[in-house]
Amino acid sequence: MSLPLDPRTFMARAIELSRLHMEAGEGGPFGAVVVKDGVIVGEGWNRVTSTCDPTAHAEVTAIRQACASLASFSLQGCEIYTSCEPCPMCLAAIYWARLGRIYYANDQADAAAISFDDAWLYREVALPLPDRSLPLTQLMREEALAVFRAWDAKADKIRY
């Protein structure tokens, strides 16, 4: 019988990725790994500045790699280890990917102390739509609803 791996092993890898790729100038100091059954199936690090992609956070890139590795859009049964508490975007991606647990090292306050403050975004998404700083304007709802109705009636759709 094999003993389960210490979660610190996976966290150490996430932290190592954050340091290696931060020092290489690829982005901010963030790293993440996705683990299934004690095996790393996806690794990611912050690539925002090196790829000019504001969504290329460590957790998102790790999720993308894990999904490709497993050939699945669902990471149910997996865990994510991240060097910092996920921002709202990454947290949403983790929920959408159906990961079962989040382990994190640094927290929101630690990130804010080095100018990665996402508290404003947590506050913003909790506001009613008209009160948000980014204006939202609804257009062509009926036309878009027609596509939703077609999806709802589609017999061969893949639910996710």
pLDDT in tens, 89-103: 999 999 999 999 999
Question: At residue 1, does pLDDT exceed 70?
Answer: no
Residues 6+ apart with CB under 8 A from 112: 118, 119
Q: Encoding tokens for residue 154? A: 């589609």
Residues 132 and 109 sit within 8 Å (Cβ to Cβ): no
Report d(CA 45, CA 30) in Å as an integer.
6
- Say which residue the tokens 């990454």 belong to: 90
Q: What is the mean pLDDT of the chain?
A: 95
Q: Which residues are catalytic?
A: 59
In DSSP notation, 41-110 reads EEEEE--HHHHT-TT--HHHHHHHHHHHHHT-S--TTEEEEEEEPPPHHHHHHHHHHT-SEEEEEE-HHH
H-run or E-run covering 149? helix 141-153
pLDDT in tens, 9-18: 999 999 999 9
Q: Where are the alpha helices (DSSP H) in 24-72?
A: 48-51, 58-70
pLDDT in tens, 73-94: 999 999 999 999 999 999 999 9
